[in-house]
Structure 1
Amino acid sequence: MTNSAEMPDIWIIPEALALIGEEAIRSRDGLETGGILLGTDDGREIVVRHAGGPGAKAHRESNRFLRDLAHAQQLAELAWKEDQSQWIGEWHTHPSGDLSPSNYDLEAYARHLHDPELSFRRFLTIIVGLTRTGEIMAVAWIVDQETALPVPVAVADDREGTTASQSSPDTDRK
């Protein structure tokens, strides 16, 4: 992925966005939190249909987050049964307010992209932060084996991907 012509349209279902917002509030304690993103990626369009929370056994630290794998797997199984959604990425918070992937994040994404069992061509990540006034801000990134690029995400008003509004990666406030 080296040019905008190859950039997919990215949609998120309001329920998934709401869950991310609700869970992101937990980072007020200064520790990262996050979860998986489930949906579809057909090459031209990515649709986030479900977002998961961290799970009871997640490890939260000030500069990294490790999801509860069993919880994530259970969410993935339920999403597959509901609408054939698959794991397409992750979301997590950066309590520091920096909405760019850290070196730790990039290393984790590289492991996912190089794992032949996962078969990722690209990985969607949403990094969320809280402003001093309590507003939630987020930037979505598409990561492949060569680049990590911020991308706009549109909020879909139904499960078919119809747009309700579009967010820019520079001013993405939710």
Structure 2
Amino acid sequence: MKLYNKHRKVELIIDQELLEKIGNTGIVHFPNEFGGFLIGKYSDDYRTLFITDYILPKSYKGSRYLFERSSKGMKSFFSKLFKKKKEYYVGEWHTHPNGSTGFSETDLNAMINIEASPSVNIKNPVLLILGISEKQLNQATFYIYDNKKLIPYE
């Protein structure tokens, strides 16, 4: 699946199978929100982001309208991943059970904090929000973070 962000003139590529796998992981936690980290790499010109995998947090809190994950222990994991596969953290994903894929103020603030974090070396992280029901993935929207805004890919 290939998506484009007109604002930044960048594209995002993710295998449909991987997107469905992420969705199914979220469905297991229905009716609570759930999420994790997105893994990938950029093309040499940084115009194309390839999402290659996802990682689940070691600890988290999930409720009907909230997902909070810990990043504890992830720094060394990401360091090893980069050395081994030249892939790295590129953003976040989480579900909205029986909800839309629109982002909340909480989602935006989380991305602002991620971008500002000295331990995160990425200026335009992506956010994937999955609208799920008890049995299926209904919708998925990717956003790129840019200058305190979340702008959707189409």
Fold conserved between structures, TM > 0.5: yes
Unpaired stretches in structure 2, ≥5 consecutive residues: none
- Kindly state the Cα deviation for residue 18 of structure 1 after the two structures are TM-superposed: 3.9
1:44 maps to 2:47: yes
Given that 2:81 and 2:88 are in contact with CA atoms closer than 8 Å, whether structure 1 keeps it comes out as yes
**Unmatched runs of 5 consecutive residues or more in structure 1:** 153-174
Distance 1:5 1:92, change over 3 A: closer
Task: Choose from 7, 14, 21 the match for 1:12.
Answer: 14
The amino acid across from 2:55 in the alignment is: G
- How far the C-alpha of 1:131 sits from its partner, in A, is 4.1
In the TM superposition, residue 97 of structure 1 has moved relative to its aligned partner by 0.9
How high is the TM-score relative to the length of structure 2?
0.80
Matches within 5 A, 1:55-74: 55=58, 57-70=59-72, 72-73=74-75
1:52-84 per-residue CA deviation (whole Å, 9 max, x = no partner) reads: 1243x2211222212242464465345324421
* 1:66/1:47 CA distance change after superposition, 3 Å: same
1:21-45 deviations in whole A, cap 9, x for unaligned? 22111242x2110010011135201
Q: Aligned in 2, Cα 1:7/1:27: closer, same or farther, shift over 3 Å?
A: farther
Show the counterpart of 1:108: 110
Give the match for residue 91 of structure 1. Answer: 93
Contact preservation (8 Å) 2:23, 2:137: no
Structure 1 residue corresponding to 2:129, chosen from 112, 124, 127: 127
How far apart are 1:4 and its partner, in Å? 1.8
Verify the 8 A CA contact 1:58 1:67 in the aligned structure 2: yes
Distance 1:142 1:116 in 2: 19
Deviations, residues 81-132 of structure 1 (Å, cap 9, x unaligned): 4421111101000114121111111111001112233232211011011247
Single out whichever of 138-147 and 113-122 deviates more from structure 2: 113-122
Percentage of matched positions with identical amino acids: 24
SS at match of 1:6: coil
Please state which structure has a larger fraction of its residues in strand.
Answer: 2
SS at match of 1:94: strand
Match of 1:34 in 2: 35
- TM-score w.r.t. structure 1 length? 0.72
Tell me which amino acid in the other structure corresponds to 1:49.
Answer: T
Alpha-carbon RMSD:
2.5
Are 1:37 and 1:51, in contact at CA under 8 Å, matched by a contact in 2? Answer: yes
Aligned length, in residue pairs: 148
